[in-house]
Chains A and B, each alone.
Chain A
């Protein structure tokens, strides 16, 4: 690539995992160079050895892992053989940021203090006053608001995005020669992740730092890296310049990875139910829900978190309705309201015309039977010590099916429908994969033969291949039983693929609700455009980050700003937005958005019901 000598060169690196029965090779014959100021990306599926490789680069290989062969050369030293004392000095030049920002610092000490501590540990000659100044300056540079005060705050007072910024500061504060960034955007929301990536690019330029950027998402890597390595089962199967790789992948595995990336705007991206009924199955009318949280350090005063604010929408029979938004937008509260785990403070949720908060006894049981929920976490959603058959029979028992034979028969039928082998009937779910567990969850919901299934982030813990298979299953079940789905998700691509109508939530409100095609090609709300500018994709973006992605995070739902809640991050903000709050405005064919940029509302006084 360049004529300059590389900062880091890896030669024939192999790493073994020592298990009870012997050794297993997890990385074999890795070789590559990292030039100064270069950003090299590494992509691979989970379990391919990405994290192990990135740890090897910072000499962090601990039992049961061991180096089998090879060198990691920095300044013509093999850092894998450097003793711990001198290695500590080297850490000034070799930095690492991981994918778990909330666990990376001691929770009992202020963030700034810990960054100073690290700086002085690797560079003892720097005085405390100078170190502090440097840290505050850098915190400022990563756009942490009021950095001077934030310096004294504790990790728990930082949001995930803020913390990741602070950790980037922590890594760059000693002015390292290269930085290993291991999955740093993984736990973050799309808009925050996009901000962090943008920041990383800026800073590494400013500090002349080379970066080894690891991620499981090719779009993310291609956004930052100039060259990409593809890792499959511990081997680098391909390395190319980013543009070349994206256009002409050489190795079949790379092509496969690219094929799995969901499309947003391309032809055939959406695969939604063709015809939906006119019958309204769920009708949410002006629903609000607040939680009260005790104010820290006060005697009896409470803060009100307004999780869901005046939400109104209808779901029609046989359709796939999506609710998208980032963490904290109120979509989980919405799920709890829809499934009657909680009751709204005001407004109504109507199911086939009945207010579900009034149901009790037999009617409630009937509602439960028709209205099932599939939950997010495939691990905590199954009782850990119950056999799969018993898990599936339990809901039937609750609903009064006493006959053992019939129970067993129905459990086995539903297992067959979701693609679980009947041999699992007696097994405990403990050894099963996330995908299989999620099938059990679906089966448990399906066994009562409901009419509506609410999917709360059901697919987000699965990898693309598994997601694809489950979506196929959902399709099949829908065709067979005429189900209605409500998908609650943070994943725009997933929503694009399956939902015919989508509601976008921000800070407890629905800011836009539209048909799939309209939402992605002609969004009515600036927040929707911001989301789309931040989604990692290989496609030509319709909405560019430079135009739509502003700095800042959503305000706290405790101190809601006056006016439009998105005003603080909106590229089109007007004076009016700071004082008045826009309501949903009809844009034709039941698509609506809440923004003053649209024409005057047809009817200002009444919220229009879709």
Chain B
């Protein structure tokens, strides 16, 4: 019952968030200078033709009208069609634009659904690596504030957070793939191609995790119940793993929820560098081609995922710590 009402409330809030996101990105794309039709039709297309196409596509209607039309589609699960990508695969260049009807263009939802699993696989692996590493470094750091494990955690997180992901990607590809030949890097022909990008993402993700884990672990070890626990006769191992870790995992979970968007940002770049066929690469290409419907679609889908992840995170967090309000 509690869970149900919580879900209803949060889903409604989430819907609102997704709506605001759509509105924001929709307006932004139309307000900023740059005409997508010009790009689609090519520099050589006559002005009249461009106006014609724009009118046909409804791009000259007031923004509100365009947005209303778009949202009514979104509600029915239709994210529209790509401006530039044909349904059959490779993207069309702007130059050879001809009167191809809109029916032949790829559906945005299909494009996203094709690439999403790839990205989820990459992100999932990255989170697993990052968590494992952070626990290994962060817990000893939190248990020994001011001593060497803490310093080690501090240095590692300070250095990792200073590594620009695109540069690290290039370096690791050069070292591990080109020079040493341990891992494949460019493109995707099997699971092994996920490992290197995932490592780069994990390096980007782990500093915050380590820092949070160290800080919250150290904080919880200062709580009265930890000291009293010892006097009550509990062993240190029990206190650390049964109680402290349990308490420390709540801020960590919340962080993971918040970090999701940061992770997606990283995914974007890493996929671009490793030519990994996921959502990130799709996004960059969409932006470079000014494929408005695709950009909007991706923004909506990612914010929806963000909302779901955070609902899940809060649900788990309340299960761990009942003091947190639903």
Contacts and interface: CB of A to CB of B under 8 A. Distances in A.
Contact of A299 (B5, B227, B322, B323): B5
B235 A297 contact: no
B47 interface: no
A125 to B, nearest CB: 14
Interface stretch (A91-99, A362-370, A513-521): A91-99
A127 interface: no
Interface in A265-302: 294, 296-299
A109 interface: yes
Contact of A117 (B3, B234, B247): B234
Contacts, number: 79
A156 B322 contact: yes
A275 to B, nearest CB: 50
B225 A105 contact: yes
B223 A103 contact: yes
Interface residues of B, number: 32
B224 interface: yes
Interface string B230-244: 111111101000110
A568 to B, nearest CB: 27
Contact of B326 (A106, A107, A297): A297
A108 B321 contact: yes
Contacts of A92: 233
B246 A104 contact: no
B231 A121 contact: no
Contacts of B325: 294, 296
A121 B228 CA distance: 14
Given A96-B231, A118-B233, A154-B322, A104 B225 contact: yes
B247 A108 contact: yes
B32 interface: no
Contacts of B230: 60
B323 A154 contact: yes
A254 B239 CA distance: 42
A106 B225 contact: yes
Nearest to A110: B322
A167 to B, nearest CB: 9
Interface centre among A91, A108, A109, A170 (most CB of B within 10 A): A108
A58 B232 CA distance: 10
Interface in B90-121: none
A66 B130 CA distance: 41
Interface in A101-147: 103-109, 117-118, 121-122
Given A100-B224, A299-B5, A58 B231 contact: yes
B232 A91 contact: yes
A88 interface: yes
Contacts of B3: 297
Contact of A108 (B232, B234, B246): B246
A84 B234 CA distance: 11
Given A91-B231, A121-B234, A297-B326, A103 B321 contact: no
Given A58-B231, A88-B233, A118-B232, A109 B243 contact: yes
B180 interface: no
A53 B228 CA distance: 16
Nearest to A92: B233
B225 A156 contact: no
A299 to B, nearest CB: 5
A114 to B, nearest CB: 9
A84 B223 CA distance: 20
Contact of B224 (A60, A104, A170): A104
Q: Which 7 A-B residue pairs are closest in the complex by CB-CB distance? A: A297-B2, A91-B233, A103-B224, A122-B233, A106-B243, A108-B321, A299-B5
Interface of A: 58, 60, 84, 88, 91-92, 96, 98, 100, 103-109, 117-118, 121-122, 154, 156-157, 170, 174, 294, 296-299
20 contacts: A58-B231, A60-B230, A91-B231, A91-B232, A92-B233, A103-B223, A106-B229, A106-B243, A106-B246, A106-B247, A108-B243, A108-B246, A109-B246, A117-B234, A118-B233, A121-B233, A297-B3, A297-B326, A299-B8, A299-B9
Given A104-B228, A107-B321, A121-B233, 10 more contacts: A60-B227, A88-B233, A91-B232, A105-B225, A106-B225, A106-B229, A106-B247, A108-B247, A170-B232, A299-B8
